[in-house]
Structure 1
């Protein structure tokens, strides 16, 4: 792993997250504003598609920046002190599960169908996620199966990395140090931990690639209105979980 000032690394990691949180709020306002604008046709579809693509681009930029910071110190991204306890409890390989994007679409689709059933029966169409057609649902379902299989592979890799901590050489060196009452083998331990960190970084990068590819495939399946509808709900959920986490941490004296 790259060496660097530990205090500086920590500050940059915190700043990266805070900047992303601020951007989430700005993106949500923009998404809501565009969804509420009246109009239809090709021009609005183009505007909404461009807006969705801009959001994807910004997410990629955040992922790239985060990965650069992780090369100096990977461990904090798996146990981030900049997240609330609630957020940390929901993490999967330093982020959200890609399959959660798909589950969110299913949840919104069901909710909107139920709330707009009367309008739908009257022939009123909004074009939102409640109006996914059979072909779209089939594509989303196939994507879900593929993503879950990839998640399972990465989860298995992560489990193996955790198990390796108890394997040679770290456990043998630790046992020898305790038995001899000293800190022997520091160099060997550091080399082993550095290799472990590099492996964790590779898994996180693969998980991020899966998050990005899943998001891009979903946006490709959805219409422009549906894509913005989904991104809006995703931003709301992300920000709400952060706020709920802050309140629960304060309630339990964790801040």
Structure 2
């Protein structure tokens, strides 16, 4: 699964999860007798849907590990609270105790009267003992994974990496990263294992908590976890949206290119209302609607539908960004073969060079995508064969 495909999956998955938790919330808020079997089925429905998300993360991890570990589809505010690509399992224990404490405050009178309650306030001694045992187990597992990650991070700068960094020409001036890829592969393999074990531990924690809790308790617990997640997500969006706008206005009140290139309609509207001029250019002479940037961005993330629309409306597929890479360079660098095919079909030059002298094929080789490499090699061969044929039939003036 590509990054763009995962982001689309996540958006659809989240909408479905919202729908399932809405049903669970409605069931828990019923004033009449709450049927435990119905609550149990709703909780299991939410759990199975969450398991789908975990499976897709593990699948994507094999293709783009850093994207998953860093949680790059989340806001930076959300990602700052992550532990090895997700939530820390012992957080689940803290949430259980926190819910118990807050509910006891509201239902203390009933508890003192001996009224039986199905809520988190009425966790039994046996349940508390099981939760405590789970907490001890999770702490040991988390410490083990955290120590392995710390060792891996420390050994990042080992002799093999140092040797690759001392190559001639140096990596900063070379397009050959084969030595670095070779040095990094065992580290990435270890990091994948650590992430997979962390994700498995998260899954086991959910299953164990749902086994310990009674259906209504499990429903309250799951709903609280969901609402807490949604609150952090929304808070992150608002915090970073305001900070981003303030930073852009502070840097330049006469240039809104950054907002336009990000496609952020909400912030763009606010920026225009604040008096920023959409017709003014930046220091490179670019306007907010620089078509080369849009094409390059669409090609880089594999947004083929948008790419096709831009080409359809006459945007030149060979237009370059300010650094002179063409959209085909961006598609090749991202290993987006379908985007490359769309661009070549629309007339993109497979022999184009960026300011460093690199061709799209060079970029594909750096990304080490065999499909993109094969496609571009074929296109380069066809282009060179055609030029050789033309040269043989129409010799130059010197000849």
The one of 128, 140, 144 equivalent to 2:135 is: 144
Contact kept? 2:118, 2:216, Cα under 8 Å: yes
Contact kept? 1:177, 1:185, Cα under 8 Å: no
Residue pairs, 1:81-230, within 5 angstroms: 81-177=72-168, 182-183=173-174, 186-230=177-221
- Per the TM alignment, residue 46 of structure 1 is displaced from its structure 2 partner at its CA by 1.8
Q: Which stretch of the first structure deviates more once superposed, 87-96 or 194-203?
A: 194-203
- Per the TM alignment, residue 242 of structure 1 is displaced from its structure 2 partner at its CA by 0.1
TM-score by length of 2: 0.58
- Per the TM alignment, residue 182 of structure 1 is displaced from its structure 2 partner at its CA by 4.7
Give me the whole-angstrom Cα distance separating, in 1, the residues matched to 2:142 and 2:5. 29
Give me the whole-angstrom Cα distance separating, in 2, the residues matched to 1:11 and 1:251. 25
Structure having the higher helix fraction is 1
Contact kept? 1:14, 1:82, Cα under 8 Å: yes
Give me the whole-angstrom Cα distance separating, in 2, the residues matched to 1:180 and 1:155. 31
Q: Which runs of 5+ in 2 are unaligned?
A: 246-263, 265-399
1:234 corresponds to:
225
* Number of residue pairs the alignment of both structures matches: 245
The one of 10, 15, 31 equivalent to 1:17 is: 10
Higher relative contact order (CA 8 A, sep 6+): 1
Q: Which runs of 5+ in 1 are unaligned?
A: 1-7
2:25 corresponds to:
32
1:53 corresponds to:
44
Contact kept? 1:158, 1:200, Cα under 8 Å: yes
- Per the TM alignment, residue 175 of structure 1 is displaced from its structure 2 partner at its CA by 2.9
The one of 233, 237, 240 equivalent to 1:246 is: 237
2:55 corresponds to:
64
Give me the whole-angstrom Cα distance separating, in 2, the residues matched to 1:94 and 1:110. 29
- Give the SS at the match of 2:158: coil
